[in-house]
A and B are shown apart, each in its own frame.
Chain A
Amino acid sequence: MDFLRPAAWEEALAAKAAHPTAVPIAGGTDVMVEINFDHRRPAHLLDLTRIGELHEWDEDGPDIRLGAAVPYARILDELRTPLPGLALAAHTVGSPQIRNRGSVGGNLGAASPAGDSHPPLLAAGAVVEAESVRGTRLIPVEEFYTGVKRNALAPDELIRAVRVRKATGPQQFSKVGTRNAMVIAVCALGIALHPDSRTVRTGIGSAAPTPVRARAAEDFLASVLDEEGLWESGRPIAPSAVRQFAELCSGACNPIDDVRGSARYRRHAVGVMARRTLGWVWQTYTRGEGEARCA
């Protein structure tokens, strides 16, 4: 095994081009487990921790451009306002120690359906900046996940950053685990209201081979909100519509039975989380709108 320590991004890209099977490592929270337990023996480890820009974020128009290796703890501390869904998800990642190391870039690279950052990225709207010596590709996050632990990266590409749409409305994230902390998702759900575009987006984790959006649910809810003028009125969403939204979210799942939970439970739990989180975001939205209307 070789340990490659590029000091700059260009060097990292060159190394990845020279060694396409090199495994990038930043926080190490996935890669080192695989090495410690003898599940993986890459010929090259490509250490990204020395590349400063991967650990930075900045505002870029309507987006936050989030360096691939910004640890969850900093997302939680620094990006709660522009990226509330991702910050909530960051709070549920592993343990404090893991949140100090793990990053969204790592979650995307591993592309586990259980990764905690996927649902809020899908709900907020995000684009993965994949780069190689050949150039940069902007991959919408929906298209990034291609299968269980597979993603759209070419062998010579690395994740430079993720451009996440800044929140224009309330967002929520909820995850079911069988422990009250330090637990991998049995299933998870993120929801974001986008009042600017009058849309609702969702993201569901651990309930299908890849993280997915519940598009039918999103479309249904958007039309209800639109047709009934709820964006303007801030009135409660009819319980029947909430129920249908929840059912459509469940319907977007294609889960399996595994040691963490049954498929039936996952489908059920996604529906419950969809109903609750919709209630929470709508309450926040109407409270905020109400204040705005009064002002």
Chain B
Amino acid sequence: MRDLTPTGLTQASGIKGGIGESTLRPDGTLKVTGEFAYASDLWHEDMLWGVTLRSPHAHARIRSLGVAEALATPGVHAVLTHADLPAATRYGLEIEDTPVLADGVVRHHGEPVALVAADHPETARRAAAKIHVDYETLPVITDEASATAPGAPVLHPGRTDEHAPHVPHPNIVHRQPIVRGDVSAVKDRADVIVTGEYEVGMQDQAFLGPESGLAVPAEDGGVDLYIATQWLHADLRQIAPVLGLPEDKVRMTLSGVGGAFGGREDLSMQAHACLLALRTGRPVKMVYNRFESFFGHVHRHPAKLRYEHGATRDGDLLYVTARIVLDGGAYASSSPAVVGNAASLAVGPYVVDHVDVEAIALYTNNPPCGAMRGFGAVQACFAYEAQMDKLAAALGMDPVEFRRRNAMAQGAVMPTGQVVDSPAPVAELLRRVKAMPLPPARQWESAGGAADVRALPGGLSNTTHGESVVRGVGYAVGIKNVGFSEGFDDYSTARVRLEAVGGEAVATVHTAMAEVGQGGVTVHAQIARTELGVARVTIHPADTRVGSAGSTSASRQTYVTGGAVKHVCELVREKVLELARARFGTYHPAWATAELLLEDGKVVTDGGEVLATLVDVLEGEAVEAEDEWRHRPTRPFDRRTGQGFGHVQYSFAAHRAVVEVDTELGLVKVVELACAQDVGKALNPLSVTGQIQGGTTQGLGLAVMEEIVVDPVTAKVRNPSFTDYLIPTILDTPAIPVDVLELADDHAPYGLRGVGEAPTLSSTPAVVAAIRQATGLALTRVPVRPEHLTGT
């Protein structure tokens, strides 16, 4: 049996191992030996398996629910429906609109209706199949027209959320206008006007580790939940009321997380497993399979975007108008924040004085959509970068030069009125990415003359030996906010302990940060080494015994939890020096007069004189501190004008894509996807390039293959599997050269800038721009399908 609580990750580093170095992951060895315990790997004596019965319909009334036959199945220990819920029946990240189990109505395909716990997953599945549900199907809402049509069913009647009084229709979750300058006043000064309508399909996070967790009932009537999530405390805040328990009786520990990308920000099986465990008095494990995973988490909002850009003949942007319609699906999830991002970043990293933007998110009967890497900004970037290319073409200008001419820089004013008060090297990133050497042409041609199909569009499928293959090159740049915005109290908590163990000073860092693969654990150890001058650092397992670390999302963890670790290390350092002064201060005048530092396990003066070892200082005493740390406050956007200091930090990346397109078959091979990104300060350069390459590849996937296909008539998901929801393989992914720029943001710890999301933005439009260049087609929708390229 595996220990349910992960071991702390201890790493001693031979080199200094502080920030700025490519130290290796402390969990790397466990992950390559197969010992690292992911949530789906957990096992407990006497445990039961939980399964979920889900709705086959996108919108239906449940006339009746019969569980007797299921409950009578041998090996079945519990069957739960809405009627069995002990306390709160709804939850939600921002708006509590999501039923724990369907309450008489299902609003999307795959909505949870009932739960079964049994002694084997197959027993549970067979029993779930015996639950009799009588559905009366209802008309489905699938888009803006059907959501706001006269007489359209209101999916969430009686809304009381903060956005409800301000939306034009109850099926609109949130609406955010951004109005700056006076578009109508300058319109007639535009020499060139381009308009465009764009569409972004529904992308899935497709993290590889499926939703899973293990709930263990405790003797005190509470429950211990071992779980793969992005934000332990947000889960806790939502789960405890559903269980009818105080938060201190719901103890959560982070298990190994197999990727997240936003898809674990909402609850999946967390409350379900706890409910089953509390009902049966037995530990309950739930593991989704890939089919269920597609129904078990929110997706990236599909979007329809209408843009108009006006520019002078010299190539200066005059105005931008945009209307962005995001499909939030059946429940709100993080739709309001996605709207805020899409609206406030709708213009991109460009200086435009006259802006009129409106973004809305809909309630529909489509699958719920919420957080995915770069949310809101990804959709807008695809559209505004297409517009920039279109404008450049209309002006007869080079697309990169046109962008550079209009690029924002530090001091620029966003359409929200916010002054960008840290480096914004947009033009420089474009210059760098353009300056990289281009990959050689016709790489499929081998010395022997035979074509290497692996280097051609179609790959191993042997569709072309070079026929109709045309190269294209495209550029794009994007802007993403870092951290939670719009006045959210975005803080993190850290607890740091310094003690002497076995003749060595050891720091222990305890946060509730969800390590989902991004490498936060690596960076926290580096920060502790830098601040405390120790070699050995233990990263305590993340749990709810320490305060919230906020979400592992919005590119925020290194900034905010990293900031908290840094801050608390500083507190510990002060305490250590206080202790040291008390113990040794009389022995040397420097204790009183010099600036003291902790380096290499010693207290040293700023002149380098060693005053004491940490082991001597800490003898018999551990020094510990805990505190919250928050970035500078932001402000909500004005509901009518969108003006406000809404974002704490911006991050920028630019891409150049080189593609080869089989123009007759409409198949695409991305040959190279070069990226330049400003990261402020690379705390771990190896992790930084890994984030950039990974984000870039997810953008590639959205460009050419990834889409959850929802039937427009039934609102049912048509491809919930890895057979038909395709993500890039290693043969689809090109070389990704990365050029990292480090221009410090003085407001952020170490000057760092959140890294994770920006590369996901510009990757997609760069690939599509390259395909446009190769084919001459307009291509207004992603993913680009062979049908779009062949007119079929």
Binding site for B on A (CB under 8 A): 36-38, 88, 91-92, 172-186, 259-262, 264-265, 267-269, 272-273, 276, 279-280
Contact B724 A272 (CB under 8 A): no
Contact A173 B462 (CB under 8 A): yes
Contact A181 B729 (CB under 8 A): yes
Distance (whole angstroms) from the CB of A279 to the closest CB of chain B: 8
Contact B462 A180 (CB under 8 A): no
Interface of B is mostly: loop
Q: List 10 tightest A-B contacts by C-beta distance, closest first.
A: A180-B459, A265-B792, A181-B731, A264-B792, A175-B461, A180-B731, A259-B718, A181-B729, A179-B726, A180-B732
Contact B665 A272 (CB under 8 A): yes
A276 to B459 CA separation, bound complex (whole angstroms): 15
Given known contacts A176-B463, A176-B667, A265-B790, A183 and B726 CB-to-CB distance under 8 angstroms:
yes
Distance (whole angstroms) from the CB of B609 to the closest CB of chain A: 61
Contact B785 A180 (CB under 8 A): no
Contact B291 A176 (CB under 8 A): no
Closest B residue, CB atoms, query A280? B465
Residues of B within 8 A of A264 (CB): 787, 792
A-B contact pairs, 27 of them (CB 8 A): A91-B462, A174-B458, A175-B462, A178-B667, A178-B705, A178-B726, A178-B786, A179-B459, A180-B461, A180-B731, A181-B729, A181-B730, A181-B732, A182-B729, A185-B461, A186-B786, A259-B719, A261-B785, A261-B787, A262-B787, A262-B792, A264-B787, A264-B792, A269-B665, A276-B463, A276-B465, A280-B465
Q: A181-B732, A261-B786 are in contact. List 4 more A-B contacts (CB 8 A).
A: A175-B462, A177-B461, A178-B785, A261-B787
Tell which of A36, A172, A176, A259 touches B786, judged by Cβ atoms closer than 8 Å. A176
Most buried by A among B125, B665, B728: B665
Closest B residue, CB atoms, query A262? B787
Cβ of B664 < 8 Å from any Cβ of A? yes
A37 to B51 CA separation, bound complex (whole angstroms): 13
A259 to B497 CA separation, bound complex (whole angstroms): 55
Most buried by A among B462, B464, B467, B792: B462
Cβ of B289 < 8 Å from any Cβ of A? yes
Contact A36 B709 (CB under 8 A): no
Cβ of B18 < 8 Å from any Cβ of A? no
Residues of B within 8 A of A268 (CB): 790, 792
Most buried by A among B463, B728, B731: B463
Cβ of B282 < 8 Å from any Cβ of A? no
A175 to B462 CA separation, bound complex (whole angstroms): 7
Cβ of B460 < 8 Å from any Cβ of A? yes
Binding site for A on B (CB under 8 A): 125, 289, 291, 454, 457-465, 467, 664-667, 669, 704-705, 709, 718-719, 721, 723-724, 726, 728-732, 785-787, 790, 792
Distance (whole angstroms) from the CB of B54 to the closest CB of chain A: 12
Contact B786 A180 (CB under 8 A): no
Residues of A within 8 A of B667 (CB): 176, 178
Residues of B within 8 A of A36 (CB): 289
A75 to B726 CA separation, bound complex (whole angstroms): 27
Residues of A within 8 A of B465 (CB): 276, 280
Contact B458 A176 (CB under 8 A): yes
A37 to B787 CA separation, bound complex (whole angstroms): 30
Residues of B within 8 A of A173 (CB): 462
Distance (whole angstroms) from the CB of A291 to the closest CB of chain B: 15
Tell which of B125, B665, B728 touches A179, judged by Cβ atoms closer than 8 Å. B728
Given known contacts A179-B728, A272-B665, A280-B465, A91 and B787 CB-to-CB distance under 8 angstroms:
no
Contact B461 A183 (CB under 8 A): yes
Residues of B within 8 A of A261 (CB): 785-787
Closest A residue, CB atoms, query B292? A37
Most buried by A among B669, B785, B792: B792
Distance (whole angstroms) from the CB of A221 to the closest CB of chain B: 19
Distance (whole angstroms) from the CB of A112 to the closest CB of chain B: 11
Residues of B within 8 A of A185 (CB): 461
Residues of A within 8 A of B723 (CB): 184
Residues of B within 8 A of A180 (CB): 454, 457-461, 669, 729, 731-732
A232 to B705 CA separation, bound complex (whole angstroms): 46
Closest A residue, CB atoms, query B662? A272
A262 to B787 CA separation, bound complex (whole angstroms): 7
A260 to B719 CA separation, bound complex (whole angstroms): 9
Most buried by A among B458, B467, B667, B790: B458
Closest A residue, CB atoms, query B664? A272
A5 to B709 CA separation, bound complex (whole angstroms): 40
Residues of A within 8 A of B787 (CB): 261-262, 264-265
Contact A38 B462 (CB under 8 A): no
Residues of A within 8 A of B467 (CB): 276, 279
Residues of B within 8 A of A259 (CB): 709, 718-719, 724
Contact B729 A38 (CB under 8 A): no
A279 to B786 CA separation, bound complex (whole angstroms): 22
Distance (whole angstroms) from the CB of A87 to the closest CB of chain B: 11
Residues of A within 8 A of B289 (CB): 36-37
A185 to B728 CA separation, bound complex (whole angstroms): 16
Distance (whole angstroms) from the CB of A80 to the closest CB of chain B: 14
Closest A residue, CB atoms, query B701? A179
Residues of A within 8 A of B721 (CB): 37
Contact A181 B462 (CB under 8 A): no
Distance (whole angstroms) from the CB of B312 to the closest CB of chain A: 41
A36 to B692 CA separation, bound complex (whole angstroms): 35
Most buried by B among A88, A91, A276, A279: A276
Distance (whole angstroms) from the CB of A63 to the closest CB of chain B: 25
Closest B residue, CB atoms, query A276? B467
Residues of B within 8 A of A37 (CB): 289, 291, 721
Residues of B within 8 A of A273 (CB): 463, 665
Residues of A within 8 A of B665 (CB): 176, 269, 272-273
A135 to B454 CA separation, bound complex (whole angstroms): 45
Distance (whole angstroms) from the CB of B611 to the closest CB of chain A: 60
A269 to B704 CA separation, bound complex (whole angstroms): 18
Contact B463 A175 (CB under 8 A): yes
A256 to B683 CA separation, bound complex (whole angstroms): 53
Closest B residue, CB atoms, query A39? B291
Tell which of A172, A182, A260, A265 touches B724, judged by Cβ atoms closer than 8 Å. A260
Closest B residue, CB atoms, query A189? B463
Residues of B within 8 A of A92 (CB): 460-462
A179 to B726 CA separation, bound complex (whole angstroms): 7
Distance (whole angstroms) from the CB of A34 to the closest CB of chain B: 11
Distance (whole angstroms) from the CB of A151 to the closest CB of chain B: 21
Contact A179 B786 (CB under 8 A): no
A264 to B786 CA separation, bound complex (whole angstroms): 11
Residues of A within 8 A of B732 (CB): 179-181
Residues of B within 8 A of A38 (CB): 125
Residues of A within 8 A of B464 (CB): 276
A267 to B723 CA separation, bound complex (whole angstroms): 22
A268 to B787 CA separation, bound complex (whole angstroms): 10
A260 to B787 CA separation, bound complex (whole angstroms): 11
Most buried by A among B454, B459, B719: B459
A197 to B729 CA separation, bound complex (whole angstroms): 42
Residues of B within 8 A of A272 (CB): 664-665
A175 to B125 CA separation, bound complex (whole angstroms): 37
Distance (whole angstroms) from the CB of B74 to the closest CB of chain A: 16
Distance (whole angstroms) from the CB of A295 to the closest CB of chain B: 21
Residues of A within 8 A of B792 (CB): 262, 264-265, 267-268
Distance (whole angstroms) from the CB of B666 to the closest CB of chain A: 7
Residues of A within 8 A of B724 (CB): 184, 259-260
Residues of B within 8 A of A183 (CB): 461, 726
Residues of A within 8 A of B666 (CB): 265
A279 to B458 CA separation, bound complex (whole angstroms): 18
Distance (whole angstroms) from the CB of A210 to the closest CB of chain B: 20
Distance (whole angstroms) from the CB of A109 to the closest CB of chain B: 18
A174 to B662 CA separation, bound complex (whole angstroms): 14
Closest A residue, CB atoms, query B670? A180
A247 to B545 CA separation, bound complex (whole angstroms): 69
Distance (whole angstroms) from the CB of B746 to the closest CB of chain A: 45
Closest A residue, CB atoms, query B291? A37
Residues of A within 8 A of B454 (CB): 180
